[in-house]
Amino acid sequence: MRKNVNPHSSRFFSDKKWIIPFFASLLVSITLLLASIFGMYSPNIDEDVSRFDGMEVGKKSEEWTDYFVEDNIRRSLALSGNSKNEPPRFAYLISGTKGDSQRIMRVLQAVYHPRNQYILHMDFEAPPRERLDLTMSVKSDPTFHQVENVRVMDKSNLVTYKGPTMIACTLQAIAILLRGSLYWDWFINLSASDYPLMTQDDMLHVFSNLSRNLNFIEHMQMVNGWKLSQRARPIVVDPGLYLSKKSDLLMTTQRRSLPTAFKLFTGSAWVVVTRSFVEYCIWGWDNFPRTVLMYFTNFMSSPESYFHTVICNNEDFRSTAIGHDLHYIAWDNPPKQHPRILSMKDFDKMVKSGALFARKFARNDPVLDKIDKELLGRANRFPPGAWCVGNSSGGADPCSLRGNYSDFKPGPGAARLQELMNTLTSDEFQSKQCSSK
């Protein structure tokens, strides 16, 4: 059909008799083509994706896959869901600000595993001296040096925490991670005030058994209420986009109308998202993630809405969104602007939640030592995993000798996480995906 519109046929257009039959047949063939593609292939694709199965998508539509962007997305979903032969890998971004370098280091060590990738970011408020200190501690660690999976972002970004500069920073880190030579499966966003509640062996073991298509994004649709009027109607400007000194978001007096081209979603700014989803956001086969990014430039608290709005408005990814951020976060009742600082008395609740991480913690709070000791079994630099095969007698660090990175020694944390995963992937939970409740 594409051949019919080649330049040689243009001379026929001067003869009016040709036009009507020509366009009529063109219209019929396009209709038939669209009907066959959307009518025959889409429904079973959607159904399959929503069951989180890896499957062979579009076998029949293979000859057309180069013409439709959406088929590319489906193909990549199908491929990523299938790659179960190797255990997964996580890509972490750990970010902090002035005075956070030691906390970043502590979080890094607590979530370290040689399978994973790590990027550390200290924002522009931190003095260059502190960034240098962090870089030096990474450089001088023999394990990081040999495995080469920890990197510090050299140029720091000016980040306004409720503004678009935060999303830009996250997307930049993901872009760097995507360009890395090593394949990874999930991206995880942490700050210096987060801390893990289980070992990487626990996480890797449980995630080995999950579909690689699941995105953990706590989300709900913004319908009516204060959130819409306080977030979607105002127009804010983030000076971090163009000034060299940090200042707060500017509020303008104008208000704008609510979007009608897409639905707005909001939720937690902490996410565990798949490689295929962030590839969709960053590599941009489809223009939607870019359009939404621009829309959110003037949006209040955009990091709590960007990924959520993108994922819930895409019919292929929507069914992969699990409404949980895998964090334990405690809010006051009624909730204040920031979550409650966790301490010793929250320990049991944190453990019971089955979550991967908790936040937020005060610097060197004693509860972190308790987590190290009782949940992570950490006596040396890293929580010991099956990859640590060195001699540990006399308090030596067993992780100084590295074994097979694909071996895991799951502990009680894995059982807690498995239980949480069973709830999250249950039918009842899935029925709430991207809904307005």
Ligand X SMILES: *[C@@H]1O[C@H](CO)[C@@H](O)[C@H](O)[C@H]1NC(C)=O
The residues of the shown chain that bind ligand X, judged by CB under 6 A, are: 95, 161, 166-167, 170, 189, 191, 209, 269, 303, 306-307, 391, 393-394, 404, 406-407, 418
Cβ proximity to ligand X: between 364 and 406 the closer is 406
| Shortest distance, position 392 Cβ to ligand X, whole Å | 8
d(CA 165, CA 420): 33
Contact 118, 150 (CB under 8 A): yes
Cβ proximity to ligand X: between 58 and 96 the closer is 96
| Shortest distance, position 136 Cβ to ligand X, whole Å | 22
| Shortest distance, position 93 Cβ to ligand X, whole Å | 7
d(CA 103, CA 28): 64
* Strand pairing category for 186-191 and 272-274: antiparallel
The alpha carbon of residue 424 and the mean position of all alpha carbons in its chain are separated, in whole angstroms, by 17
Cβ neighbors of 141 (< 8 A, separation 6 or more) are 150, 381
| Shortest distance, position 166 Cβ to ligand X, whole Å | 5
Is residue 164 packed enough to be buried (19+ CB in 10 Å), middle (13-18) or exposed (0-12)? Answer: buried
Cβ proximity to ligand X: between 68 and 262 the closer is 262
Cβ proximity to ligand X: between 37 and 292 the closer is 292
Cβ proximity to ligand X: between 96 and 383 the closer is 96
Cβ proximity to ligand X: between 80 and 191 the closer is 191
Cβ proximity to ligand X: between 400 and 418 the closer is 418
Cβ proximity to ligand X: between 72 and 392 the closer is 392
| Shortest distance, position 189 Cβ to ligand X, whole Å | 4
| Shortest distance, position 226 Cβ to ligand X, whole Å | 20
Residue the block writes with tokens 């902490």: 270
| Shortest distance, position 59 Cβ to ligand X, whole Å | 26
CA atoms within a 13 Å half-sphere pointing along the CA-CB vector of 352: 5
Contact 320, 350 (CB under 8 A): no
Cβ proximity to ligand X: between 58 and 164 the closer is 164
Cβ proximity to ligand X: between 37 and 293 the closer is 293
Amino acid identity for residue 149 in this structure: N
| Shortest distance, position 141 Cβ to ligand X, whole Å | 22
Which whole-number Å values give the CA distances from 46 to 42, 51, 52, 178, in the listed order?
A: 6, 9, 10, 27
| Shortest distance, position 304 Cβ to ligand X, whole Å | 7
d(CA 65, CA 75): 9
- Cβ count within 10 A of residue 69: 11
| Shortest distance, position 177 Cβ to ligand X, whole Å | 13
